[in-house]
Structure 1
């Protein structure tokens, strides 16, 4: 048996979305624990215990990760997700360079950019995926980029 800890958006139908790949690959669900009282922001922790083989588990995890955050598999920590807001002349200071440097440590998975006017400061919301042991490295890079490009990095959620 294998346990999977997931953080799921707290919206109707989200649980069904993560059960679909489990059903698709014919894994046997032993239990589901839905911990609404431990809700963090707009996410609800879910633990699913499955009876399946490792190869099938890998396929299931790949599909679940497209729609939810997999925190642990059999007690082993997965990647960390870090939400960051960047404020300043984000585009003018070469956003591609900023993203490339972040990607040397982790991976910018999502980027939302707001640029009200070319002469005004812009802002970007980034979701970065990284290994737990890279948190210190990414924070050091943020400090370096703040000084070098006159940007402000506001660290939000780590999950």
Structure 2
């Protein structure tokens, strides 16, 4: 798996975010039985920039914790049949599946870790797991969808031993 990371804020997480994002992303892909090597772009930013992007792309004028920009329009979550006949979903140089982009606010990682009473590591990993599920076509627009996504996030973190 290739994860391109752009760190665009001065605030340091103080954790091994590179190893953690790889560990969590790979585990989610394994859980979701992804048959391909994959590629994800991660941007670590601040509240000001994530608010700008949230406003531009979602017309919601506020900072958020994480934004996901999937490359694949899954018809149903983690149904990889859609990519099998379209090479545009793959990096032509590496053969990796292009899942999309994740943007995380480092400011929100700190604020939410404090708010929920858990570690920076746990909050960061939660946001990565959450976003990876979005990149695989999961959503939480209905209570049923939210329940599925929440269970998968919890399972991923529990199996990795990343607890509150």
TM-score (norm 1): 0.25
Higher relative contact order (CA 8 A, sep 6+): 2
Choose 1 or 2 for highest CA Rg: 1
TM-score (norm: length of structure 2): 0.25
